[in-house]
Amino acid sequence: MKYFNGFSLFGEEKLFSNLIEEESITGFSYGAIKAFEYALANNCKKLTLISPAFFQLKDKKFKKLQTLSFKKSQKSYIDNFLKSCAYPSSQNISKYLKLGTAEQLEELLDFYWDRNKLESLVANGCKITIHIGSKDAIVSKEEIENFFKDVADIIVYKGKGHILQ
């Protein structure tokens, strides 16, 4: 089992212990990008993406605003980020905080999920499963469903947010 953490988080895999399988490469949010890259470079049979960071349909203005806000006040940005991750629950996830960098934020905002690479993983025997909350305040459930529907099994958690709580 290999797990990749979300942006500015560490140890949050405890939140997903029921979804992490021993034989799977798993990533949460930003970590889903890292898990995908790892799966491409290694022989992967199972890839589990939990609330994958998916911003390739957002415009440059949105992405620039995110990075400028982070650089202007990391504390304010991260406070809002943690609340958005937990929404609609009021769970405090600050105990998992490990401040990320502006470079990591830019990487996740600019990451391009390549359809051909996803199809190649599947063609090589990798089963991709995506877990997403219907009330995710970080990424769009609809965009993820539309983009990944032909390459992954998508499990939607009704009434749950980014951390599936």
Looking at every residue in the chain, the average pLDDT score rounds to 97
pLDDT per position as a tens digit, 138-152: 999 999 999 999 999
Work out the number of other CB atoms within 10 angstroms of the CB of residue 141.
17
Task: Fill in the DSSP letter of residue 82.
Answer: H
Q: Which domains are assigned to the chain?
A: 2-157 (3.40.50.1820)
Look at residue 69 in the predicted model and tell me its pLDDT.
97
Look at residue 43 in the predicted model and tell me its pLDDT.
86
Residue 46 and residue 49: Cα distance in Å, rounded? 10
